[in-house]
Amino acid sequence: MSIKIIRRWVQWFWLLITNSYLVFPFSKSLYQGPLKVICSPGLNCYSCPAATTYCPLGSLQQLLTTVRFTLQTGGYYFGTYVVASIGILGSIFGRFICGWACPFGLFQELLYTIPSPKYSVASPLRWGKYIFLLFFVILLPLLAVDASGIGLPWFCKFICPAGTLEAGIPMLFLLPELRPIVGWLFAAKLSIASFYIGWSVVASRPFCRTTCPLGAFYAFFNRFSLIRLKLDEKKCTSCGACHSVCPVEIHFNETPNSGECINCLKCMNEACSFNAISLDLAGYTMFPQNEKVTTR
């Protein structure tokens, strides 16, 4: 079985395991069981009626929205569990999470298989996700507060297309009484989600590459994570084969362990013929690309 097929199965596994509360059409409520304290590795909305885990971005924003309030009231509360969870995930896996365990990443990849003209994503747009992380996830929830010192989860409330598709739309079907109160905010978020859906048909994973704050956070760990791709410069011939298969349009041989790399392993498994790319697991080399992974 090829790595390509294994990766797709792993992606479906994480989609199902983080959205396994399948009785929601009957309960008409969100899952609130013991698994809800576990951090989802990828972007997966807490308010999705099928979700069994919490969203790391949403939780981080909720944490920051109350920092000013707790300081004013003398609580000095800081949610180290949230920060530690995504920090540990990032330090172990880096952006492997984006390529292997993110439900919204899988959704974009499936959209990209729809026959259509295909276009590149302009390289400068990759900085957008760091801007969204800095302003919409960190600074605005922390600093733009009301009179009581409580802020808003700006990215979740005003931007996140995953939340619209996984939570907003399904909840309107489950709870018809919500429909009369739908206003401009939901219409705006639906427009944003529609934009990314359309963009994902003609470009490879555009939300991940230009907007996703979680991808930006994990990108900081790509050079230092325990699991990462490794380039053997002595074997690399600079043939450029890895360039043509990369879904995020990076040149792996020129920028190994780039923060943009989602570690899908396509360059290793499908492109390089010189055994120059391998998977490094805490210093142990695994699966050079000309050694195909097989299962019995």
Give the tokens for residue 129: 């996700």
Per-residue model confidence as pLDDT tens digits over 131-187: 999 999 999 999 999 988 899 999 999 999 999 999 999 999 999 898 888 899 999
- 57 found inside a domain: yes
Structural domain boundaries, residue 72? 3-219
Give the tokens for residue 99: 């390529």
CA angle 130, 188, 138 (to 5 degrees): 30
Give the tokens for residue 248: 């995020």
Give the per-residue pLDDT at 78: 63
Do residue 205 and residue 246 come from a single domain?
A: no
Per-residue model confidence as pLDDT tens digits over 213-270: 999 999 999 999 999 999 999 999 999 999 999 999 999 999 998 999 999 999 999 9
Do residue 92 and residue 215 come from a single domain?
A: yes
Domain boundary residue, one of 166, 188, 219: 219
| pLDDT, mean of residues 105-114 | 98
Is the per-residue pLDDT at 107 higher than 80?
yes
Half-sphere exposure of 73 (CA within 13 A, CB side): 11
Is the per-residue pLDDT at 19 higher than 70?
yes
- 62 found inside a domain: yes
CA distances from 130 to 30, 215, 218, 260 (A): 31, 9, 11, 11
Are 166 and 51 in contact by the 8 Å Cβ rule? The answer is yes
Give the per-residue pLDDT at 193: 98
Do residue 157 and residue 138 come from a single domain?
A: yes
Give the per-residue pLDDT at 257: 87
Is the per-residue pLDDT at 285 higher than 90?
no
Which of the 8 DSSP states describes residue 181? G
Per-residue model confidence as pLDDT tens digits over 119-131: 999 999 999 999 9
Do residue 198 and residue 237 come from a single domain?
A: no
Do residue 203 and residue 245 come from a single domain?
A: no
- 131 found inside a domain: yes
Do residue 215 and residue 232 come from a single domain?
A: no
CA dihedral 218, 163, 153, 66 (to 10 degrees): -80
Give the per-residue pLDDT at 77: 63
| pLDDT, mean of residues 94-111 | 97
Give the per-residue pLDDT at 72: 76
Per-residue model confidence as pLDDT tens digits over 31-81: 999 999 899 999 999 999 999 999 999 999 998 998 878 877 776 666 678
Give the per-residue pLDDT at 296: 35
Give the per-residue pLDDT at 83: 87
Do residue 61 and residue 129 come from a single domain?
A: yes
| pLDDT, mean of residues 2-10 | 94
Please state the three-class secondary structure of 32-91 as a single string. Answer: CCHHHHCECCCCCCCCCCCCCCECHHHHHHHHHHCHHHHHHHCCCCCCHHHHHHHHHHHH
Are 48 and 17 in contact by the 8 Å Cβ rule? The answer is no
Do residue 17 and residue 95 come from a single domain?
A: yes
- 292 found inside a domain: no
The structural domain count of the chain equals: 2
- 102 found inside a domain: yes
Do residue 155 and residue 55 come from a single domain?
A: yes
Do residue 179 and residue 264 come from a single domain?
A: no
Domain boundary residue, one of 219, 238, 254: 219
CA distances from 167 to 72, 154, 163, 189, 251 (A): 33, 16, 5, 12, 36
Give the per-residue pLDDT at 292: 44
Do residue 197 and residue 114 come from a single domain?
A: yes
Which of 174, 258, 251, 153 shows the shortest CA–CA distance to 215? Answer: 258
Is the per-residue pLDDT at 110 higher than 80?
yes
CATH of the domain at 243: 3.30.70
Is the per-residue pLDDT at 286 higher than 80?
no
- 115 found inside a domain: yes
Distance of CA 118 to the CA centre of its chain: 22
Is the per-residue pLDDT at 24 higher than 70?
yes
The helix/strand count (H/E) of the chain reads as 17, 3
Give the per-residue pLDDT at 288: 56
- 16 found inside a domain: yes
Which residues are bridge partners to 227 per DSSP?
281
- Rounded mean pLDDT of the chain? 92
Kindly report the pTM of this predicted structure: 0.92
How far apart (Å, rounded) are the C-alpha atoms in residues 65 and 234? 50
Do residue 167 and residue 267 come from a single domain?
A: no
